[in-house]
């Protein structure tokens, strides 16, 4: 079993970090820093709490002025790369809101080595127009990490962060940033733009479909971004979105002989299911074949999750499809006993279903 992510902040990690700090700041009080980190609260802190705790320790043991500490952090940032150094931008988030220009310079620098996507959000909330102007400027930066920050930082529903209600209600302000990045050569940036569009689609599906109409079929990069950014719409079987990406009506597609390996399963079991899919039309059709499971929730109601099986063109043919699904609890899903349903979907249309029982 893998260790919790928060455990990356070990004594060995801080020994390396304090060594780097000491080489640039000879009067650094390493002992005080380590005592501040590993106080009586440390073991109870979760990941984001530990990141903030490190920021507090920096404030206690680095130079007294914000600007001096920031300069020291920028000096050592190239030696401090990776997810674990999120406390660099977090320090700016915590202490830099009243030092706009120096904070922007620091966040631009820190994101090259870690990520400032969370730290920019309080600045967006404080002054949206000014921050949007800054992020639009970042969207034209030569460094892909800074360009990604322009998109990732303004995502309305960024995971691990509080939603940006302003952009959830009206994302029009962030569209110029996405427009600037819609042909970006970096896959790192492309994924962020797609994720931003996917966030928007959850609150404004019509707007995203209008963007698809406007941007599609002009550049392969943009087309990839649009499709990846529409994945929630496609999974929901949004007919208009499916048609925009070339998924025609599945009226000529039949699904027969949906069979399950058992009628009852327990946690740890693997469910095998199979079916025959046939294209009865005279031409090949692009088919998005998925299976949905209606999971039983703690309150006894059901919640559907959709999984992709294939996405390709099928000619006038019959195809045998077999899939396995393992029943095990995940960090994102806990299973409950009861009657579940597996359903086969083709281009968003339900074609066949079977009930089964899961015992937990």
Give this prediction's pTM.
Answer: 0.88
Shared domain for 237 and 257, answered yes or no, is no
Shared domain for 221 and 275, answered yes or no, is no
- pLDDT attached to residue 331: 82
Shared domain for 257 and 126, answered yes or no, is no
Shared domain for 181 and 284, answered yes or no, is no
The residue among 189, 220, 244 that closes a domain is: 244
The residue among 244, 275, 299 that closes a domain is: 244
The CATH number of the domain holding residue 291 is 2.60.40.10
Q: How far apart are the first and last CA of the chain?
A: 21
- pLDDT attached to residue 332: 84
Query: Where in 15-102 does DSSP place strands (E)?
Result: none
The residue among 218, 244, 270 that closes a domain is: 244
Rounded average pLDDT over 4-27: 96
Shared domain for 208 and 347, answered yes or no, is no
The CATH number of the domain holding residue 193 is 1.25.40.290
pLDDT tens-digit map of 229-244 = 999 999 998 999 999 9
Shared domain for 220 and 321, answered yes or no, is no
Residue 121 to residues 74, 85, 166, 172, 272: CA-CA distances in angstroms? 20, 18, 11, 17, 45
Cβ atoms of 336 and 301 closer than 8 Å:
no
Please tell me the distance from the alpha carbon of residue 55 to that of residue 74, in angstroms, as a whole number.
14
How many domains does the chain contain in total? 2
pLDDT tier, 1 (very low <50, low <70, confident <90, very high otherwise):
low
Shared domain for 350 and 206, answered yes or no, is no
Rounded average pLDDT over 206-230: 97
Cβ atoms of 190 and 147 closer than 8 Å:
no
Shared domain for 268 and 181, answered yes or no, is no
Query: What's the domain range around 55?
Result: 5-244
Shared domain for 187 and 283, answered yes or no, is no
DSSP 36-49: HHTSTTGGG--HHH
193 Cβ contact list (under 8 Å, min separation 6)? 151, 178, 181, 182, 184, 225, 229
Coil vs helix vs strand at 359: strand
Shared domain for 290 and 226, answered yes or no, is no
């Amino acid at each position: 079993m893998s260790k919790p992510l928060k455990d990356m902040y070990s004594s060995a990690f801080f020994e390396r970090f304090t060594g780097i700090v000491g080489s640039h700041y000879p009067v650094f009080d390493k002992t005080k820093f380590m005592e501040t980190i590993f106080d009586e609260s440390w073991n109870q802190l979760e990941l984001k709490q530990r990141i903030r705790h490190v920021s507090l320790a920096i404030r206690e043991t680095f130079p007294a002025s914000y600007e001096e500490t920031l300069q020291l952090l920028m000096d050592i940032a190239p030696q401090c790369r990776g997810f674990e150094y999120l406390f660099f931008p977090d320090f700016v988030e915590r202490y830099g809101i009243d030092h706009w220009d120096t904070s922007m310079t620091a966040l631009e620098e820190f994101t090259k080595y870690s990520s400032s996507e969370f730290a920019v959000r309080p600045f967006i909330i404080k002054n949206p127009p000014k921050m949007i102007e800054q992020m639009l400027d970042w969207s034209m930066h030569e460094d892909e990490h800074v360009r990604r920050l322009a998109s990732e930082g303004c995502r309305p529903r960024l995971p691990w962060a509080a939603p940006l209600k302003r952009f959830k209600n009206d994302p029009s302000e962030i569209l110029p940033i996405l427009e600037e990045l819609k042909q970006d050569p970096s896959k790192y940036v492309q994924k962020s733009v797609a994720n931003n569009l996917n966030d928007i689609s959850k609150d404004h599906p019509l707007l995203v479909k209008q963007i698809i109409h406007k941007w599609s079929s002009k550049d392969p990069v943009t087309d990839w971004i649009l499709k990846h950014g529409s994945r929630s719409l496609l999974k929901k079987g949004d007919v208009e979105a499916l048609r925009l990406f070339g998924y025609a009506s599945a009226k000529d597609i039949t699904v027969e002989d949906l069979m399950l390996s058992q009628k009852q399963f327990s946690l740890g079991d693997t469910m095998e299911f199979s079916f025959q899919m046939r294209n009865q039309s005279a031409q090949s059709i692009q088919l998005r074949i998925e299976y949905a499971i209606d999971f039983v929730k703690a309150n006894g109601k059901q919640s559907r999750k959709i999984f992709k099986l294939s996405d390709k063109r099928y000619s006038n043919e019959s195809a045998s499809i077999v899939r396995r699904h393992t029943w095990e609890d995940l960090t994102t899903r806990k299973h409950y006993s009861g009657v579940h349903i597996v359903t086969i979907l083709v281009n968003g249309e339900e074609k066949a279903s079977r009930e089964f029982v899961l015992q937990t």
